[in-house]
Amino acid sequence: MIGDALSSVPAAMVLHNRAPEALALARTLPVGSYRITALLSIARAQRDRGNMADAAATASEVNAQIELTPSDMRDYYYGLRAEFQARAESYGFTDYRDALVSALDSLADEKAAMRSESDKALPRPTIVEVADAVALAHAISYRRLDTLAEIATPLLLSGDRRALEIPIREALATVNETRASDSDYDWNEELTFIAVTQVAARDYAGAKATARLLTQPSSRLGTLAIVAWGEACTDEMDVAKKTLADALADARQADRQKDVLGVIAVVQARLGDREQALTTAEGIPAAGRRVDALIGIATGRLSPLWH
C-alpha cells in the first residue's frame, strides 16, 4: 500500500541529513499507524545518528499523535512507543523466548553477555530508557505483558541484569493486579516465563517466590528445577541441591514429574550426579524428549529441551 511505502521513507531521509523534509513528509500521512510508524522511524534514525534532543522531540510528537487516535487503538500504539524507547523495535515473543534460552545457557558458561563479543550491533538501552519504556507499558492494558517481553529481549541479549529487573517487576505487578480481578484465568504460563527470566537475572530468591504462585504441580517443579540450575551454574551447589530436593519432595507423584523429567535430569547432571541424571532421563516416556534430555546432559545445556 502507498501508506506502507511512504512510512518507510523518512528514516532513509534522516540518514542523508534530510530530517526536516522527513518530518514534513511524515506529517502528511494519515493520522494513525502510518504517521506514528513514520515518526518513530525518524526518531530511531535521529537517535542512531546521536541526535538525542531531536529524537526526544520527535518521540514527544508521537505521544501527541497517539492521543489523537481512537482509544481502542492506543494500547497498540503505546506498545510501539515503549518498544522504541527500549530499543526493542524488531523483537517479538519468539525472540524473547530464544533470548531467554540463550541467557540460561550463558549461565552455564559463566558469561555476562548473551551474544558473542564480535556482535557490535547489539542494542544497549540505558537504564533510564528502560524505566521510561516500562512506564509507557504501564499505560497499556491488553498486551502489556507482550510489550514487557519485547522490552526485556535486548536486556537478555546484552546481559544487562540490573535493567532487566525493571520489566520483571512490572510483569509481576501486572499479573498480581489482574489475578485479583480475574481469578478464573490460568496464569501458569506467564508466571513461568517471569520466574525463568528472574533466573536469567540471577534473582533466585525472587524466582522461587514466583514459582510458588504456580498452581500446576509440573510447572512449579520444572520452574524450581531451572532455579536450581541457575544456582548450580553460579557455584551455589548446596543451595541448588536443596532447591531441587525440596521441589521433588513437594511433587512425588509420577504424573507430576513426567513432563519435566528432562529438566530434572540435566540439573542433576549439573549438580554432579550423572548416574542419577541418566536414570532420570531413561524414565522419560517419549523417545524424542528422552534424546533431548541426553543431549542436554552431554552438552551441559538446558536449550535442547526448550522447543
Same domain, 132 and 201: yes
Are residues 59 and 97 part of one domain? no
Q: 519504556: which residue's cell?
A: 133
Question: Do 100 and 187 fall within a single domain?
Answer: yes
Angle, vertex CA 110, rays to CA 106 and CA 112, nearest 5: 70
Q: What is the model's pLDDT at position 256?
A: 53
pLDDT of 181: 75
Please say if the pLDDT value at position 220 is more than 50. Answer: yes
pLDDT, residue 11, reads 55
Structural domain count of the chain: 3
For the ranges 35-39, 118-122, 221-225, 243-247, the lowest mean pLDDT is seen at 118-122
CB atoms within 10 A of CB 118: 6
Query: Are 137 and 168 in contact, with CB atoms under 8 Å apart?
Result: no
The total of other beta-carbon atoms located within 10 Å of residue 183's CB is: 8
- Based on the fold, state whether residues 280 and 231 are members of the same structural domain: yes
Of 55, 121, 123, the C-alpha closest to 88 is 123
Claim to verify: residue 153 and residue 181 sit in the same structural domain: yes
**Same domain for 127 and 144:** yes
Decide if 40 contacts 3 (C-beta within 8 A).
no
At 119, the pLDDT band (50, 70, 90 cuts) reads very low
Using one digit for the tens of pLDDT, what is the confidence trace for 84-98?
888 887 677 788 999
Residue finishing a domain among 46, 69, 92: 69
Number of Cβ within 10 Å of residue 303's Cβ equals 17
Contacts of 250 (CB under 8 A, 6+ apart): 217, 220, 221
Q: Are 78 and 140 in contact (CB under 8 A)?
A: yes
Nine-digit cell at 222?
520444572
Residue 6: pLDDT band (50, 70, 90) is: very low
pTM over 0.85: no
Is the pLDDT at 127 greater than 70, yes or no? yes
Same domain flag for 100 and 208: yes
Can you tell me the mean pLDDT for 204-231?
93
What is the average pLDDT value for the chain, to the nearest integer?
Answer: 85
Q: Which residue has the higher pLDDT, 127 or 9?
A: 127
Q: Report the pLDDT value the prediction gives residue 114, as an integer from 0 to 100.
A: 45
Question: Rounded CA gap, 41 and 251, in Å?
Answer: 50
Does residue 184 share a domain with residue 77?
A: yes
Residues spanned by the domain of 88: 71-215
Q: Is the pLDDT of residue 37 over 50?
A: yes
Instruction: Using DSSP, state whether 212 is helix, strand or coil.
Output: coil
> Of 30, 49, 69, which marks where a domain is finished?
69
237 and 211 within one domain: no
Spatial distance between the Cα atoms of 40 and 91, rounded to a whole number of angstroms = 15
Q: How far apart are CA 194 and CA 306, in angstroms?
A: 16
Distance separating alpha carbons of residues 49 and 8, to the nearest angstrom:
17
Q: Give residue 1's pLDDT.
A: 42
The per-residue pLDDT for 112 is 43
Task: Say whether pLDDT at 2 is over 50.
Answer: no
